[in-house]
């Protein structure tokens, strides 16, 4: 008789990963980061447990997008008042807040449940090459 292994919260080990976004396509980068955050790359993955790792993304301003997405893709923010819908194209968002572009893309790749807020807390995105997480000795993630 074989037994199923169930991961316990005390056995979870979290690593720190450093992901360089320079030259990466936005969607493909977001799927890899979401996989690391959820812990799907580990053999003991469980959908109901947060056994993912911390992810530090650098060079967020140097991502690339394909096609006409720079002008066609819009980010919407609604204040709740009449006439309060703001539309921001991807080109403007990348110029002002490139970290938010990656954050929103990764958030869209995570499940819509209570755990996604905890998972997003483990994501750190920075515009340039500098980050304050050197003390954690993050491993470099090679993009596939």
Distance CA 4, CA 81 (A): 52
At 129 the pLDDT is 95
Q: Give the list of residues 6+ apart from residue 17 with CB closer than 8 angstroms, or none.
A: 36, 53, 54, 55, 56, 138, 139, 140, 141
What percent of the chain stands above pLDDT 70?
100
Q: Which residue has the tokens 């304050």?
A: 132
DSSP, collapsed to helix, strand or coil, labels residue 25 as: strand
Whether the Cβ atoms of residue 104 and residue 94 lie closer than 8 Å to each other: no
Identify which has the larger pLDDT, 102 or 3: 102
Question: How many other β-carbons are positioned within 10 Å of the β-carbon of residue 96?
Answer: 10
Identify which has the larger pLDDT, 143 or 58: 58
Whether the Cβ atoms of residue 10 and residue 48 lie closer than 8 Å to each other: no
Residue 23 pLDDT level (bands cut at 50, 70, 90): very high
Q: Which residue has the tokens 């008789």?
A: 1
Residue 142 pLDDT level (bands cut at 50, 70, 90): confident
pLDDT tens digits along 30-47: 999 999 999 999 988 888
Domain residue limits, the chain: 13-66+94-140
56 pLDDT above the threshold of 90: yes
pLDDT tens digits along 107-141: 999 999 999 999 999 999 999 999 999 999 999 99
CATH T-level fold of 13-66+94-140? Ribosomal Protein L13p; Chain: A; (3.90.1180)
């Amino acid at each position: 008789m074989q037994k199923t292994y169930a991961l316990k919260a005390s056995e979870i080990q979290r690593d720190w990963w450093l992901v360089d976004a320079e030259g990466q396509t936005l969607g493909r980068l977001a799927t890899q980061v979401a996989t690391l955050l959820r812990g799907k790359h580990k053999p003991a993955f469980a959908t109901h447990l947060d056994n993912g790792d911390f992810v530090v993304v650098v060079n967020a301003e140097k991502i690339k997008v394909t096609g006409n997405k720079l002008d066609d893709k819009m980010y919407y923010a609604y204040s709740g008042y009449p006439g309060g819908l703001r539309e921001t194209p991807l080109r403007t968002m990348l110029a002002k807040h490139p970290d938010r572009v990656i954050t929103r893309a990764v958030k869209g790749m995570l499940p819509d449940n209570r755990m996604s807020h905890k998972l997003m807390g483990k994501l750190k995105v920075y515009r340039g090459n500098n980050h304050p997480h050197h003390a954690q000795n993050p491993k470099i993630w090679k993009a596939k």
